[in-house]
Amino acid sequence: MHRLSNTVIGFLNLFSLLASIPIIGAGLKMAKNSTTCENFLQTPLLIIGFIVLIVSLAGFIGACFHVAWALWVYLVVMLILIIGLMIMTVFGFVVTGQGGGGPVPGRVYREYHLGEYSAWLRDRVRESGNWVSVKGCVIGSRTCDKVAAWTPVDYMRNDMSPIQSGCCKPLTSCTYGAATELMDQEPDCYKWNNDPTLLCYDCDSCKAGVLETIRRDWHKVSVLLVVVLILLIGVYCIGCCAFQNARRAETDYPYGHNRMTKVRPRWDFYWWRWWRDRREQLW
């Protein structure tokens, strides 16, 4: 178990160390790009990449060279990561538990309403600064260009993404014409504009479509985090064994004339023995 735990920890952290390099590279690449969508993700990618790099480096050095303090740092940071991921996972499931949209009679696509989503998500898109950035991202993605040439028959037969359903068309319940000016309709019906640069980008349905996309992606990430947590807890347990091995290696040096020397001393044993001999000569 002594060698097995250290070998397993060493290999696992070597792989995660190599995996952190493309993560950091992707974050740096996004930092040089001026598009809003990519800049929105660059900071989390860089933080995750550097944390994985530091943790993996500490775990690799500690496991392979029996450096107890490096393994101690590794285990402390790993514990913080596990706790943080647990909180993030629970928060993700709570936040993404609401929403999903509702069916539209006679249509394949669904429509989404802002009130269906959690208050935390609604507050994020209602902030003017956040929505300006998100709206610029949606417009820049040219998602609505895919449905611009649809005929009424296409709207009856084809499905839509949440953003297409909320941002590229008015609500199906909206009616337009001189006879309907005095009808009581939803506020989004009056925000719709045929101008390709306006459409329904300022509608609550568009914000709901963005939230639905985030909800779906976040839910998938939350499920993945559960798997990652199980693996991290297993690695953490193996790391605790490696830490005990490193501590045992530090305290297993010969001391005094009656102790047996180690058959296979650690890499710094000879330096330690030279320093002890020099100290005895000086005193």
The whole-number average pLDDT for the span 102-126 is: 89
269 — pLDDT class (breaks 50, 70, 90) = low
Q: How far is CA 154 from CA 61, 199, 210, in A?
A: 60, 18, 23
Tokens for 281? 């000569």
* Per-chain mean pLDDT for the chain: 75
Cα–Cα distance measured from residue 152 to residue 149, given in angstroms and rounded to the nearest whole number: 10
Q: Is the separation of the CB atoms in 188 and 204 below 8 Å?
A: yes
Question: How many angstroms separate the CA atoms of 188 and 185, rounded?
Answer: 8
Range among 62-71, 75-84, 159-168, 213-222 rated most confident: 159-168
CB-count exposure of residue 180 (10 Å: 0-12, 13-18, 19+): exposed
Write out the two tokens for 230. Answer: 């199980």
The top-scoring range by mean pLDDT among 129-138, 153-162, 216-225 is: 153-162
Stretch 182-205: mean pLDDT: 87
Whether the pTM exceeds 0.75: the reply is: no
In this predicted model, which residue has the larger pLDDT, 116 or 52? 116
How confident is the model over 177-193, as pLDDT tens digits?
765 555 678 889 889 99
- Confidence class for position 271, pLDDT limits 50, 70, 90: low
Model confidence pLDDT, tens digit, residues 14-27: 766 666 676 666 66
